[in-house]
Amino acid sequence: MAPARTCLPRASRRLAFAHTKAVFGLLFLWQRTDGAFGKVFSRGFIDILGLSTSVSRQNRDEESTAMPDPSLDLSKPQNAACHCGAVRFTVLLSDGLNTVRRCNCSFCRMRGAVAVSAELSGIEVLQGHDALTLYQFNTGQAKHYFCKHCGIYTFHQRRSSPHQYGVNVACLAGMSPFDFAEVVVSEGRSHPSDRRMGDAAGKPVAAGWLRYVANPLAEAQLEE
C-alpha cells in the first residue's frame, strides 16, 4: 500500500515560497554589489538579533564622535543657520563632537534632532534675532529657540545644564545628522533633575543608540 501523501497547508506553502524568493533576492544583491550589500545586511541582522550589545562602549563612542568633515577646525566658531537663512549664528562647541546626542523625552522624540553642546557664551546670533521664537513646556526651565519662518529648531538652553546650549547639528555648515554612524540617546522620559533615588539620581542615562547605515545601492539606483 502506497504511503499517504502529506500536503502542507496553503499558508505554509506561501511562506516557504516567500522565504525562497527572499534568499535568491539577497544572493542577487550580494552579486550585484560585490559583497557590499552583504556587509550592510550582516550588520543589520546582528543588530536585529541583539548580538551587537557586546560592542564595547569605547567603540560606540568612537562611532558617535566621528568628524563629518576632517577639514573642519572645531576649535574655532562654526557658521550655522536655519533652513531659510533668516537666522544666522556662530557656534563654538564646548567639546567638539564628543557631546553629540539625541533624547527620547516627549518633545525631543517628536523633534528628532541630533544636538551638540556649547556654552552660553559660545553662540553669537549674527542675523535674525527677531526671527527666533521661544518654546517652553512642563517646568519651563528649558528654552527652545526656533525660526518662526521655516520652523527649524536652532538651539536650546538646557534644563539639565543651564550653563549650556544644545545646538542642532543640522544647522552647522558642513554637518549632517547622517554623518554619524551611531548616536547615543539620552534618557529624557525621566529627567535627571527629577530622579531623586538610586544610582541614576541626578545623572545622565543612555536609553540606547541610534545607528545609520548608508545604502550602498543608492548612487547606482539614482543613476538608473
Asked whether the predicted pLDDT for residue 19 surpasses 90, the reply is no
pLDDT band (50, 70, 90) for residue 77? very high
Q: Is residue 220 part of a domain?
A: no
The answer to the question of residue 186 being in a domain is yes
Residue 25, CA distances (Å) to 20, 28, 39, 49, 141 in order: 9, 5, 15, 21, 53
Kindly state whether residues 126 and 41 are assigned to the same domain: no
DSSP bridge pairs for 135: 144
| Between residues 157 and 203, the one the model is more confident about | 157
Is 102 within the bounds of a domain? yes
- The range of the structural domain enclosing residue 36 comes to 12-54
Question: Percentage of the chain surpassing pLDDT 70?
Answer: 65
Q: Do 42 and 106 sit in the same domain of this protein?
A: no
Q: Tell me: do 127 and 204 sit in the same domain.
A: yes
Distances (CA, A) of 132 to 31, 45, 212: 51, 43, 30
With respect to residue 7, please indicate whether it lies within any of the assigned structural domains.
no
57: pLDDT strictly greater than 50: no
Cell 512642563 found at: 138
pLDDT(110) > 70: yes
- Same domain? For 50 and 73 the reply is no
The number of folded domains in the chain is 2
Asked whether residue 30 falls in the same domain as residue 67, the answer is no
What is the three-class DSSP state of 75?
coil
Q: Is residue 75 part of a domain?
A: yes
Strands (DSSP E) along 53-211, which ranges? 78-81, 88-93, 102-103, 115-127, 132-135, 143-147, 153-157, 164-168, 182-186, 206-211
C-beta of residue 68 within 8 angstroms of C-beta of residue 174: yes
**Same domain membership, residue 170 and residue 116:** yes
Q: How confident is the model at residue 195 (pLDDT cuts 50, 70, 90)?
A: low
**And the C-alpha cell for 54?**
557586546
Please compute the mean of the pLDDT values over residues 150-174 and round it to a whole number. Answer: 95
Identify whether 221 is part of a domain: no
Q: Where are the alpha helices (DSSP H) in 10-98?
A: 10-32, 36-49, 57-64
97 shares a domain with 164: yes
User: Does 177 lie in the same domain as 68?
Assistant: yes
pTM value? 0.67
Same domain, yes or no: 49 and 76? no
pLDDT score for 65: 47
49 assigned to some structural domain? yes
Q: Indicate which CATH number applies to the domain containing 139.
A: 2.170.150.70
Q: 94 and 203 in one domain?
A: yes
Output the pLDDT for position 135: 97
The alpha carbon dihedral of 148, 150, 154, 159 has a sign of positive
163-172 average pLDDT score: 96
Bridge partners (DSSP) of residue 186 are: 103, 206
Angle value at C-alpha 61, between 55 and 64, nearest 5 degrees = 110
Residues 109 and 90 in one domain: yes
One domain, residues 67 and 34: no
Given a cut of 80, is residue 194 above it in pLDDT? no
Q: Coil, strand or helix: which one is 123? A: strand
Q: Is residue 20 part of a domain?
A: yes
Are residues 188 and 110 in contact, defined by beta-carbon separation less than 8 angstroms? no
Nearest to 160 by CA among 135, 132, 139, 146: 139
